[in-house]
Amino acid sequence: MRLRVGLIVIAMVLSVFGVRLVQLQGLDPKAYAARADAAGLVKLPLPATRGEITDRNGVPLAESVSGLMIFADPQRTRPNAEKIARILANRLELDYFDVLDALRKSNGAGKPDLRFAYVARRVPEATALAAVAAVKKAGFQGVDTRPDPVRFYPAKDVGANLLGFLGADGKPLAGLEMMFEKQLAGKDGSESYEVGGGNRIPLGENTEVKPVNGKDLTLTIDRDVQFYAQRVLRTTVQNSRAESGAAIAIDTKTGDILALADYPSYDANDAGAAPKADRGSRALSNVYEPGSVEKVLTTSALIDAGKVTPRTRIRVPANLPIGSDVINDYFEHSLIKLTLAGVIAKSSNIGTVLATRQFKPEQLWGYLDKFGLGHRAGIGLAGETRGLLPKPADWTELTQATISFGQGLSVNALQMATAINAVANGGELISPSLIKGRATTGSGVEVGSDVATRHRVISPQAASAAAKMMEMVVTQGAGTAPGAGIPGYRVAGKTGTAQQVGKTCKCYDGSLAVSFAGFAPADDPRFTVYVVIQKPKNGGSGGGTAGPVFRKVMSYLLQKYAVPPTNTPPAALPVEW
């Protein structure tokens, strides 16, 4: 009897379920679909925290700080989309119609209703919370926030031309941010959960894939030196009414770049406000004829080849005809008798050309090639130019003459800094490094101080002789730039003034690039600094315009790193005979 009753009860329950199933699947499908739409699976991103870019001492130059994303549940915001859009657009300074589209977003007909849509990404925390609170205060639901780190550049313009920046969509658009995106970005995670009636179902499906945060990138840059170099450079460019400028400081022994300053620069937190031309590094991309700083490379090569010594005597006429052209010095003179040291100290074009006649074209070209001219340094940034060092087969007598004193070839600022640093480093060229340790660019190239290369260009003896000649440049009464000297220290330097080719006429248009390169202490170099000012409008010169920048930056370096004077007597080479 009991068994019979039990079977009857089971049969009745199954009948009820069967009837309900028929109702849902056959008799009332629209009602069933409507109820199903009230439930769904929400998938939210869990953004990875982008790696920091720090200076050599771990000071952040680019970091990720607390921020929020604002998102909507379109199923809940659609009925009041216009009113919610006005609140959010005003609070966040967004386009009203873009916000409206997000609040009304759908998957399209016949598909489950969308439960997640971005309204804004990487919003400062206080701003985001205030905007969402305003929506809720107005009585509307369906707008919320989630963590979403904001990229921040605490030093604003310091190193901005190297760092680059991120676009509104969080994608890198320039600089190190772009070149090392794979390392810095990490990988976003996600979280999925079920909702019903607009609310999360506590015991529903819930999965989480944790984000993998990006890795930090450490630079060789010293933030303090970079800051100081940029400020001194800015003042000089503005005061000379120049077009632009660059200043580079290198650790002589390691090749580490301690500062790579450009002006104009920009605030990386507001890159869109700056002209596109100001967002890259002109020190890497701009090419120009280097002028008389090149004479250091030419004369040190001649010494290395055994052709001359610093005391070699040279008769320097008032001018030097070559074919239909005439080589002149920047200063008027009749016949003067200079030593090779005097040619460097007085920056004589004619004296340099006469000394260089002992080289065949391929000999001078070979040395300049080993000094790195015509080659990218490869520090890990896009936009670096090769410059131009014409092949010796194409040289004429005039070509060799002009190249010997820095015209008829082109370089970028980093190339010249690296070449002069080779002289400072006893004749051994070290490939410069911007990355401390090692890192791999997006194109798969490994760069950094751990993979820096070295090769000999000139002998230690030739480098020492060149350094002593360069000391005469900053010697009062002997050289062209006594103002670049630093009391208490032996300083080696060289001025440069070169005519520049105009963009319109493609000819020498009267504009100049004025520069100064040097190292200190001259007899035991610790730092190399190179400065170039492009197209000053106040009649600038290498010694008068770029020299003071060199002196200030070098003085700062020597003090910051507590480099003592060597307490040895300065070079005292004869400049005339």
Give the list of residues 6+ apart from residue 570 with CB closer than 8 angstroms, or none: 471, 475, 490, 522
- Helix %, strand %, coil % of the chain (to 5): 40, 25, 40
User: What are the φ/ψ torsions at residue 237 (nearest 5 degrees)?
Assistant: -60, -45
Count the neighbouring beta carbons within 10 Å of the beta carbon of residue 273.
8
Contact by Cβ (8 Å): 198, 76: yes
Write the CB contacts of 15 (distance below 8 Å, at least 6 apart in sequence).
none
Catalytic residue list contains 292: yes
Residues 6+ apart with CB under 8 A from 202: none
Which residue is associated with the tokens 């840059």?
Answer: 221
Alpha carbon separation from 45 to 147, 177, 202, 237, 567 (Å, rounded)? 10, 22, 19, 46, 63
Beta strands in 31-154 (DSSP E): 39-46, 53-54, 60-65, 67-72, 117-124, 143-147, 150-152
Whether the link from the prior residue into 275 is cis, omega within 30° of 0, is no
Whole-number Å distance between alpha carbons of 399 and 407: 9
* From 240, 244, 265, 292, active-site residue: 292
DSSP category for residue 50: P
DSSP structure string for 103-115: HT----TTSPPP-
Q: Tell which residue, 515, 512, 500, has the closest CA to residue 548.
A: 515
Displacement of CA 163 from its chain's centroid (Å): 5
Question: Quick one: DSSP state of residue 23?
Answer: I
Spatial separation of the C-alpha atoms in residues 357 and 348, rounded to whole Å: 15
Which residues are catalytic, by number? 292
